[in-house]
Amino acid sequence: MRAAIASEWLKLRSLPSTYQALGAAALMIVLGVVWTFYVSGLADQRGSLRAAAPEEGFLPLVQISLATLGVLAVTSEYATGMIRTHLITAPNRSRFLLAKTALIGLVTFVAANVVLLVTYSLSRLIANGRSLGFNSTSLPDDLPMLLASGLSVTALALVGLGLGTAVRSTAAAIGSVVAVLFVLPGVVNYLPEPWNNRIATFLLPNLVPQIAGQRLSSRLGDGLLPLWAALAALVAYPLIALAIGHHLLRRRDV
């Protein structure tokens, strides 16, 4: 297993798309700084201002960027044909996918939390002394939200890995990830009540505040999933995607 992870790490480091995806995720830091300077200027003019925290407002950028990393970790091998060579030399397909899962999970979790923590720290440092809505709490209070956000990024990256393995197409897999993150919540809004609110509670974008113990929007009501249920729902997303990818990987010739 160690050799399989080392092989996957070598392949991941050799892909230009890896650094592009990580760079796109790190763009959140720049946008967070720009946003904080902007709202700080408005707060100085008005005396106080309630603004969205940059680590929450720009979270979808990190999610999509690192989900793309998960997709490309496998679809790039299909595109170049290298997967045939790999499966000939190391035919254990379960170990192949497990090694990719472990590596992508670790890389995206570390990268996401570094980006989130740096964005959080810089925004609070810039906004120090100004009356901003996201400057009213300390790091220990915001740590659950930061950790939940990091977990959501990792979960979506593994969803991308599983879907990429299943469909073998970069465009189709990224499109599916976008649908999970953006399209599905909009479609659920059109369901009849109370099913729209009940299903929305289990959607990935709404799991982050529930894991952090925060109140959802008034449209979804005051009810929260228990912490264990919210975590189980978050874990279910990558597990289902990876299970589908694993099943199809074992059934197909390549």
Give, to the nearest 10 degrees, the angle between helix 139-167 and helix 170-178: 140
* CA atoms of 209 and 213, how far apart (whole Å): 6
pTM: 0.92
pLDDT single digits (tens) 176-215 = 999 999 999 999 988 888 888 889 899 999 999 889 877 6
Assess contact for 152 and 62: CB atoms under 8 A. Answer: no
Q: Please state, in angstroms and rounded to a whole number, the distance separating the CA atoms of residues 69 and 109.
A: 12
Query: Alpha-carbon distance 50 to 224, whole Å?
Result: 24
Q: pLDDT tens digit string along 157-187?
A: 999 999 999 999 999 999 999 999 999 999 9
**Cβ(173)–Cβ(164) under 8 Å?**
yes
* Tokens representing residue 110 in the block: 């570390």
CA-CA distance, 253 to 201, in Å (whole number)?
39
Tell me the per-residue pLDDT of 216-232, one tens digit each, with 9 for 90 and over: 654 455 457 888 899 99
Burial of 161 (0-12, 13-18, 19+ CB in 10 A): buried
Q: With contact defined as beta carbons under 8 Å apart, do 141 and 190 qualify?
A: no
Task: List, in sequence order, every residue forming a beta bridge with 49; answer none if it has no partner.
Answer: 132
Q: Give the model's pLDDT for residue 224.
A: 72
**Terminal alpha carbon distance of the chain:** 21
Percent of the chain with pLDDT over 70: 93
Which amino acid is present at 230? A
Cβ pair 21, 69 in contact under 8 A: yes
Encode pLDDT of 73-122 as tens digits: 999 999 988 888 888 877 888 999 999 999 999 999 999 999 999 999 99
Residue 127: is its pLDDT beyond 50? Answer: yes
| Sequence ranges of the domains in the chain | 2-251
For helices 93-126 and 227-251, angle between their N-to-C axes, nearest 10 degrees: 140
